[in-house]
Structure 1
Amino acid sequence: MPQARQTPMVVAASDRSLPILIAKAGSSARFAWEEFIYGKIRNRHTRAAYEHAIRKFLSHCEALNKELPTVSPRDVGCYLDEQDYAPATKKLHLSAIRHFFDTLVTRHVILLNPAHSVRGVRLQVVEGKTPEITVAQARKLMQSLDTSHVVGLRDRAIIAIMIYTAARVGAVASLRRDSFYDLGDQHCLRFSEKGGKSREIPVRHDLQHFIGDYLVAGGTEYADKSKPLFRTTIRKTKKLTQNPMSAGDMARMVKRRMKDAGLPPRLSPHSFRVTTITDLLSQGVPLEDVQNLAGHADPRTTRLYDRRQRRVTRNLVERISI
């Protein structure tokens, strides 16, 4: 008997935003995709990174004429070997693929997870890569700011918050007017941070004045509580808008201020966090207290920011007698 002619599967218009292999695999695969991307992952940055990794791998499988049930550990391993990524990025991609295929197994789209037995790249991190800004450099930066206008006062307050609270730039950008408040005996800042954490950190007196001076100069001392604490400006007019500064806006501002102060270009807003943690540990502050300030769930993460014992000095390398 002549062999039946197979009709190519047509992907519906509503499924065109899906990876082709998912759209072809049917309703269970589509449900698993939406469950994993939109249901299980709540952090938008993680969602974007995982979705990018999974889409890229599925496109790779499609180019090999694979269907979801036929993807093997060899396909996963060879794909990772072919990617010119840093070890940390390869680990992220493997994690995304592994967790997504777990969802496909749960929803009975496939029988076994092909990524489950694939080993990741060995990566042992003993020190973070973020460069440290020295205490002298931080002071030089603060002293270089022109605070005769509201923009300078705003930028001084932002930088001081990162120094004196060890907060991430994203947490500073999310501050609202009611995030800075008076408890009667002291002022505090309440941050919304990674993982849905909300933390209250006392404000030291000089930082309290920095923030207060900015609010008075900007006319936002009694602004609506839901309004952003730090606002953008209209080009170079030094006039504040109603729009909040994003984390990117703040990072670019810090880079500009550092360049104007003659500081190394490799420094970043995260450098303040490294310096604050190292400085407190150098003064003998208990690791647990520094960990609480940094908002780390694990003290090992705090230790990655500690630069006290891991510096290789130029004096050391100059002593090599070759």
Structure 2
Amino acid sequence: MTSPAAPDAPPAAALAPDIERHLQHLQVERRLAERSLVLYREALARLQAFAEKQPVDLRRAQVFHVRRWAAQLHAGGLAPRSIALVLSAWRGFYRWLGRDGLVDLNPVEGVRAPKAAVPLPKALSVDQAVTLAEAPEAEDDPALAARDHCVVELLYGCGLRVGELVGLDVVAGSDAGGWIDAQDAMAHVFGKGSKRRSVPVGGPALQALAAWLSARPGLARSGEPALFVNQRGTRLTAAQVRGRLKRRALQAGLPTHVHPHMLRHSFASHLLQSSGDLRAVQELLGHANIRTTQVYTKLDFQHLAKVYDAAHPRAKKKP
């Protein structure tokens, strides 16, 4: 048995007076943007179409009506996030009617959209990450080439956020920045929620750092505390890191758009595959809740499933 498809929204000119007045309230008093008004109009048009098909007066709709309509939206192929937006518009409409005493209850309160699937973070394979880190330098300026190489080594080798990377200073002592202690092979960063954490720095990253520090005086302005600087000699920005990383990935021949957080995901995924120590990965990433880190166990399972599908004689090969 197939579920009934969600009805199409009626034309804008046929909207009920209550809905038109509410949209006017949103436009004049709430000053919603034009795009938001369009989305509200579409959502409330859907509500009216459901009520007319039931049929039920909009002011007499009950919770079971709204639950049924939300289920029909889902059966009709509307994504969970889109259903959540529709329900939010309906909830606001009935809340507005309730303030004027036109309804006794808000039938949308307590009705929730289906849970949206949490998208898995995209990570490079080990070979792709190594290719990116060891790619021959195509940059004409040796100083910029050394800087970009060091940036990649720290993002992938330490799992830093891009904000933590650009916040690094040459020496310790800043209240807001971080620094790298090459002697102890540790990076001390200032992360989310104003929390400091320390992560180990591997040999390749330390070598890249030494090369960059040798080249840095040719770019940095006098007195500039930032470890990484741009061509103007001032602190490198997150946007500049994204641009340079994208350029380097294209030059390395990688088939996907690479951004700084992808290297952090790759760091976590590869570390978990090798160690299986979820708590250690949590600490290295600076996650306050281990549930945030658990997404990488799904990435690891995906990797194992691909290996099985490709190698086992009894695996179900996809055509």
Task: Read off the aligned partner of 2:116 and give its amino acid letter.
Answer: L
Tell me, yes or no, if structure 1 residue 159 matches structure 2 residue 152: yes
Give the Cα–Cα distance (whole angstroms) in 1 for the partners of residues 60 and 156 of structure 2. Answer: 49
Deviation of residue 186 (structure 1)? 5.3
Tell me, yes or no, if structure 1 residue 169 matches structure 2 residue 165: no
Partner of 2:198: 201
Partner of 1:210: 208
Task: Read off the aligned partner of 1:223 and give its amino acid letter.
Answer: G
Distance change >3 Å, CA 278–CA 244, structure 1 → 2: closer
Task: Read off the aligned partner of 2:306 and give its amino acid letter.
Answer: V
Give the Cα–Cα distance (whole angstroms) in 2 for the partners of residues 285 and 150 of structure 1. Answer: 38
* Rg larger in structure: 2
The DSSP-based 3-state class of the residue aligned with 2:256 is coil
Tell me, yes or no, if structure 1 residue 291 matches structure 2 residue 282: yes
Alignment check: 8 A CA contact 1:231 1:240 kept: yes
Give the Cα–Cα distance (whole angstroms) in 1 for the partners of residues 78 and 211 of structure 2. Answer: 46
Alignment check: 8 A CA contact 1:168 1:270 kept: yes
User: Where in structure 2 are there 5+ consecutive unaligned residues?
Assistant: 1-22, 49-57
Deviation of residue 222 (structure 1)? 6.7
C-alpha offsets along residues 274-304 of structure 1, whole Å, 9 cap, x if unaligned? 3222222233353112112222233232121
Task: Read off the aligned partner of 1:129 and give its amino acid letter.
Answer: L
Distance change >3 Å, CA 290–CA 142, structure 1 → 2: same
Give the Cα–Cα distance (whole angstroms) in 2 for the partners of residues 189 and 300 of structure 1. Answer: 24
TM-score, structure 2 normalization: 0.60
1:1-322 mapped onto 2 (5 Å cutoff): 21-22=25-26, 24=28, 57-60=39-42, 77=70, 86-87=79-80, 89-90=81-82, 93=85, 101=92, 115-125=108-118, 128-146=119-137, 149-175=142-168, 178=174, 179-181=177-179, 185=184, 187-193=186-192, 196-204=193-201, 206=203, 207-219=205-217, 220=220, 223-225=223-225, 229-232=227-230, 239-242=231-234, 244-247=236-239, 249-284=240-275, 286-306=277-297, 307-310=299-302, 311-313=305-307, 314-316=310-312, 320=316
CA RMSD of aligned residues (A): 4.7
Deviation of residue 159 (structure 1)? 1.4
Give the Cα–Cα distance (whole angstroms) in 2 for the partners of residues 274 and 312 of structure 1. Answer: 18
Alignment check: 8 A CA contact 2:155 2:162 kept: yes
Q: Percent identity between the aligned chains? A: 20
Alignment check: 8 A CA contact 2:164 2:189 kept: no
Alignment check: 8 A CA contact 1:132 1:272 kept: yes
Give the Cα–Cα distance (whole angstroms) in 1 for the partners of residues 76 and 167 of structure 2. Answer: 35
Task: Read off the aligned partner of 2:215 and give its amino acid letter.
Answer: A
Deviation of residue 70 (structure 1)? 7.3
Give the Cα–Cα distance (whole angstroms) in 2 for the partners of residues 254 and 287 of structure 1. Answer: 28
Alignment check: 8 A CA contact 2:43 2:86 kept: no
Give the Cα–Cα distance (whole angstroms) in 1 for the partners of residues 84 and 154 of structure 2. Answer: 31
TM-score, structure 1 normalization: 0.60
Alignment check: 8 A CA contact 2:188 2:198 kept: yes
C-alpha offsets along residues 174-198 of structure 1, whole Å, 9 cap, x if unaligned? 55564343668555332333xx342
Alignment check: 8 A CA contact 2:121 2:262 kept: yes
Deviation of residue 250 (structure 1)? 2.2
Alignment check: 8 A CA contact 1:174 1:191 kept: yes
C-alpha offsets along residues 43-70 of structure 1, whole Å, 9 cap, x if unaligned? xxxxxxxx99966544546889x9xx97
Distance change >3 Å, CA 191–CA 63, structure 1 → 2: same
User: Where in structure 1 are there 5+ consecutive unaligned residues?
Assistant: 1-18, 34-50, 233-238
Partner of 1:36: none
